[in-house]
Structure 1
Amino acid sequence: MRWAALYARSRQLPAAFGALLVATSGVWFLGRDSWNAILVALALTTAVAVAATGLSGQDPDLDRTAALPWPVRRFAHLALIAIVAGAVVLGVQELGSSAVAASIIVRDAAGLAGLAGLAATTAGGQFGWTLPLAWAAVSLFVPSGTSTTDQVAAWLRQPAETPAATWTAVILAIAGAFAYTGWGGRR
C-alpha cells in the first residue's frame, strides 16, 4: 500500500470527507432559500471542524520519528482541508438561487483552517475542531459594527471588501499553517 493511502486511512480522511459532504449539504439544505454569509460561515466551520479531527494520528511519537518529512505532509493536509471545504461550499451554493462571493468563501476557509492548525498544535489533533467552532460561535454574538474590533471578532460575517476581516483571516491562516507544519499535533 502506498504512503498516501496509509496516511489517509490513519487520519480518517475518507470518513472526514464523507462527514464534510453531509454536514455542508445539510447546512445548505436547511438554509437554501436564504443562503447568506452567516450560513456560509456555519457550513465552512462545520466542514473544517469535521475534517480537522484527523490532524494527528493515533501515535504522536510515531509521527515525530517517522523517516518521511512530516512538515510538507502536514502543510498539505491543512491546505487540503481549506481547499476541499471551500470547494464543497462553492459547489453546494450553486444549487440554489442565491450565492455568496467566492472571495468570502476562500477567505473564511483559509482562516478557519488556520484556526484548526493552531488548535491541533496547542491542544492535539483530535481537538482541531475547537478553535474554528469557538470563534464561529462567538462571532455570531458580536454586533456587526464598523469598529476594527468588531470587524476582527466577526471576520467570518464581514463583506469581502473589509480589510480587517481579510487581514484577520490571512494572519490566522499563516499562523496556523506555520505552527501546525512546524510542530504538528500536540501529544
Structure 2
Amino acid sequence: MRWAILYARSRQLPAAFAALLVATFGLWFLGRDSWGTLLVVLTLAAGIAVAAIGLSGQDPDLDRTAARPWPVRRFAHLTLIGVATGALVLGVQHLGTPIVDLSIIVRDAAGLAGLAGLAATAAGGQFGWTLPLAWCAIAPFVPDDDSTGARITAWMLQPPATTAATWTAAVLALTGAATYAAWGGRR
C-alpha cells in the first residue's frame, strides 16, 4: 500500500481534502438559510475545483515512465474527486432544512468532475479548476427559456428530469474521465 500513500502525497490529496472540507462547510455555513440548487452547484464547483488542482504530479516525465499503468489511477482519482465532493455536499445539506434532490447532486458532481478532467488534459493538472468554475460562473446568467441550447448551457441548474441536462452531464463526465485517464495532465 506504500504506492497509494506516495501517490496521495504527490497529488497533494491531504491538502486537497482539507480544502474540500473548508470550501463545502464554509459555503454551506454562509448560505444555510437560502440553501438551494444554485448554492449546491456553487459548492460542488468549488469543491471539485480545489480538489482538481492535484490532477497532475510535480514531474510529468516520472508519471509517464511509471512501472504500473496510470490510466486506472487517473480514473480512480477523478472519480474519487466527484464522489467525495458529491457525498460531502449531500451530507452537509442534511444539516439544514432545505434539501436539493439527490439526482441533481449526482448529475452535477459527475459533470463537473468530467470538466475538471478535460481541463487537466488540455491545460495541465494545476488548471483542472478552470472549466468547472468557468461553466459555473456562466450558467446562472443563461436566460431561462425552454430552448435546448439554454438547457445545455445551464445544465447544472436544471430540474432532475431534464433530459438535455442529464445528457450534457453524462457526456462531460465520460469524455473528461476517458481523456484524463488516457492522457493525464498536460505538461
- State the TM-score bracket (shorter-chain normalisation): over 0.9
| Distance of 1:182 and 1:38 partners within structure 2 | 32
Superposition pairs of residues 26-45 of structure 1, within 5 angstroms = 26-45=26-45
* Partner-residue secondary structure (3-state), 2:23: helix
**Match of 1:126?**
126
Q: State the alpha-carbon separation in 2 of the partners of residues 30 and 163 from structure 1.
A: 31
User: Matched residues in 2 for 1:58 and 1:179: separation?
Assistant: 20
TM-score (norm 2): 0.99
Alpha-carbon distance, 1:144 to partner: 2.2
**Given residue 143 of structure 2, which amino acid in structure 1 is its aligned partner?**
P
Q: Identity over the aligned pairs, expressed in percent?
A: 72
CA distance in 1, matches of 2:35, 2:79: 26
Match of 1:116 in 2: 116
The answer for unaligned runs of 5 or more in structure 2 is none
Hey, what does 1:12 align to over in structure 2? Answer: 12
User: Which residue is equivalent to 1:73?
Assistant: 73
Match of 1:105 in 2: 105
Q: TM-score, normalised by structure 1?
A: 0.99
Tell me the distance in 1 between the aligned counterparts of 2:58 and 2:132.
Answer: 22
Q: Deviations over 1:10-64 (max 9, x none)?
A: 0000010010011011111111111110000000000000000000000011111
RMSD of aligned residue pairs (Cα, Å): 0.7
Match of 1:49 in 2: 49
Distance in 2, Cα, partners of 1:49 & 1:145: 29
Distance between the aligned counterparts of 2:48 and 2:124, measured in 1?
Answer: 15
Deviating 4+ runs (over 6 angstroms): none
Q: What SS does the aligned partner of 1:137 have?
A: helix
Deviation, structure 1 residue 143: 1.6
